[in-house]
Amino acid sequence: MDWKETLTRRRALVIAPFAFAGLYTLANRRGEQPVNAEEVTIVPFDDRGHPQQAARLRRIVRAEAEWKRILTPQQFYVTRRESTDEPYTGAMYKSHQRGIFRCVCCSNAVFSSEAKFDSGTGWPSFFEPIAKENIGTRRDTSMMMDRTEVHCALCLAHLGHVFDDGPAPTGLRYCINESSLGFFPLAV
């Protein structure tokens, strides 16, 4: 056995566990979408940014083909496949226009420009959601990291992640993918 063959076997032994772990994670994450439309409570917001009375709504559940029909490929990839936008590629991270950020999949209000700040990361960042009822979180151990994923409470669209290195008053940084958001300027 020569040194090239040993090196190839050694490389395969080192790489194989990581490859299997990645495939296992991808296979299991696709099956996490619920099949039933359970009820959730959200706080609707009008076009002026005013909260309305909390409402109990059926969770929005669609077939993959329908999501692909109503979303752009990038929006689908980020929101339904839990991917991430490239940093500094959008315009929202540097925008300071007043308005509401809504889930691109279902129009649920998720963040307000009032809570937006420049994190220097290249993604739109917020120190709190527009209403705690409108988002959900779960532990995300993909990519060999332990993070907290943020999703829309109404349709379970992946929005981004939340970290504990944000500004006052919460100390949180909701690092959100631009592809998961629609921006709506406040009506006058």
- The pTM of the full predicted model, rounded to 2 decimals, is 0.79
CA dist 158 and 52 (Å) reads 24
Calpha distance 93→89 (Å, rounded): 9
Say how far apart CA 102 and CA 81 lie, in whole Å: 19
pLDDT at residue 122, as a whole number: 95
Per-residue confidence band for 3, with pLDDT thresholds at 50, 70 and 90:
very low
Domains of the chain, residue spans: 1-31, 37-185
Instruction: Give the separation between CA 93 and CA 123, rounded to whole angstroms.
Output: 5
Query: What pLDDT digit, counting tens, does each position of 124-164 carry?
Result: 999 999 999 999 999 988 878 889 999 999 999 999 999 99
Q: What's residue 30's pLDDT? A: 44
Residues recognised as catalytic: 175
Confidence of residue 36 (pLDDT cuts 50, 70, 90): low
CATH, domain range 37-185: 2.170.150.20
Cis omega before residue 87 (within 30°)? no
User: Residues 40-54: pLDDT tens digits?
Assistant: 999 999 999 999 999
Residue type for 57, please? L
pLDDT at 174 over 90: yes
Read off the tokens for 66. 């329908």
